[in-house]
Amino acid sequence: MLTSIDLFSGCGGMTLGFSWTGFNSLLASDIDENCEKTFATNFPEIPFLCGDLSNFKKSDFDVYINKTAVDVIIGGPPCQGFSLANKKRNKVKDDPRNRLFYEFVKTIDWYGPKAFVMENVKGLLSMQSGKVMLQILEELKLAGKYGYEVDYKILKASDYGVPQARERVIIIGIRKDLNQSPRFPERCVDVEITVDEATSDLPPIQAGEGKEVMDYASAPQNNYQMRMRNKANKVYNHIAMKHTKRLIERFKAIQPGKNLLDVWETHGAVQRGNPTAKSKIKFSQNNLRLIADKPAPTIAASFQSNFIHPHLHRNFTAREGARLQSFPDDFIFEGMRTKMSWEKGLSQYQQIGNAVPPLMAFEIAKILKEQLTCTP
């Protein structure tokens, strides 16, 4: 059985996808306490180190790995603040803005896995006119004792059965002594899964309705819904946010594919502290009503307020967001449902939006497994 270490794991989207192909995760780590709770609920058998990765030593990992060979290291270290202000390699490495990426590299240096998979946002490619990506690839090629054959590709989640047009940069490295080059999964669906196909069997609750545990509203209506139900016989995390009457009236006026800007004059946001005056701040991302027969746009960490249900006059529930990310219904999210600014830890919505879609991770893992099982 192939083994992995899961860094910057979040709630476990990548871990779940890799587990579906038979990978055995030896250890996972993330800094967020609510991600730890969610991870522990869904992967009770996998040790989890919660904290800043730079505070852990190899001995902290070795306690759990126990001399087991590590085949793959996977994770998505944040690179948005990556800096090339210092031209010398050691100076770049010492820049605190680059710290998290180098913690990922450090773990590769520790264990010399056969391969690694790194996920990141598409914008990484254009940072500093592409120079950041070149630096990251160079560092990854030099990692470990042997170095790595490294390549990257932009993958679109909807190409792999995820009902979402999310694009992410996937970087794969194969250890040079294995004499292989990285491979990426090909599109595996003929027709993209739509929002309705993903969510229409969930209870059609109104704003403010729902419970932590509910019965299904109907039998599964398609193969995607059957797959998402997996072993679940109940619906979890399906509670709709409460909305004011004014907000519900605004939602009613927004047609599929339209957003707040399309109904601004009559239903626009009001100024804070002055409800009789319209706000002058306009955001096209807010209150977008999704189109039922198309995949969703990217389900970001802020999706709780970004999107309106295709048919109902409310925002999406955490479970609906999880369906659009391809998390099955027996994957339960812990921590607060939504988050106030003073609260610590990521909310359920943020955990879902930050995750790698498990079905996309599954397709990446399948290709990698094929390669690594052919090597000594």
pLDDT per residue as tens digits for the range 12-52: 999 999 999 999 999 999 999 999 999 999 999 999 999 99
The mean-pLDDT minimum among 16-20, 44-48, 64-68, 71-75 falls in: 64-68
Q: What is the pLDDT of residue 94?
A: 66
> What pLDDT is stored for residue 344 in this prediction?
86
Residue 249 three-state SS = helix
Dihedral angle at the C-alpha atoms of 77, 78, 80, 82, nearest 10 degrees? -60
Q: Is the pTM of this model over 0.85?
A: yes
Percent of the chain at pLDDT above 70?
Answer: 90
Reading the block at residue 134, the tokens are 């070149």
pLDDT score of 131: 87
What are the residues whose beta carbons fall under 8 Å from the beta carbon of 228, sequence distance 6 or more?
198, 323, 326, 327, 328, 329
How high is the pLDDT of residue 127? Answer: 83
| Angstrom distance (rounded) from CA 253 to CA 154 | 36
Q: Which tokens is 84 given?
A: 């090339």
pLDDT of residue 234: 96
pLDDT (0 to 100) of residue 340:
78
The 10s digit of each residue's pLDDT in 262-297 is 876 665 555 566 555 556 555 556 789 999 999 999
In the residue annotation, 79 being an active-site residue is answered as yes
The CATH number that domain 3-189+357-372 falls under is: 3.40.50.150
- Judge whether 116 and 139 are in contact, CB under 8 Å: no
Q: Between 3.30.465.10, 3.90.120.10, 1.10.3210.10, 3.40.718.10, what CATH number should domain 195-354 receive?
A: 3.90.120.10
Domain range summary for the chain, segments of one domain joined by +: 3-189+357-372, 195-354
What's the mean pLDDT in 154-174? 97
Number of residues written out for the chain? 376
Assess contact for 118 and 75: CB atoms under 8 A. yes
Q: How confident is the model at residue 361 (pLDDT cuts 50, 70, 90)?
A: very high
Instruction: Report which listed range, 85-94, 145-154, 337-346, is most confident.
Output: 145-154
Taking 60 as the threshold, does the pLDDT of residue 91 lie above it?
no
Q: Is residue 260 packed enough to be buried (19+ CB in 10 Å), middle (13-18) or exposed (0-12)?
A: buried
Question: What is residue 270's predicted lDDT score, i.e. its pLDDT?
Answer: 58
Percent of the chain with pLDDT over 90: 75
- Strands (E) across the chain are located at 3-7, 24-30, 48-50, 72-75, 115-121, 148-156, 167-175, 210-214, 235-239, 270-271, 274-278, 288-289, 307-308
What pLDDT is stored for residue 87 in this prediction? 53
The average pLDDT across 114-131 equals 91
Mean pLDDT of 248-260: 92
Of these residues, 11, 79, 188, 374, which one is catalytic?
79
- Average pLDDT for 154-160: 97
Q: Write down the pLDDT at residue 272.
A: 61
- 272 or 320, higher pLDDT: 320
* Domains 3-189+357-372 and 195-354 fall in the same CATH topology: no
Q: Across the chain, what does the average pLDDT equal? A: 91
Average pLDDT over residues 186-214: 96
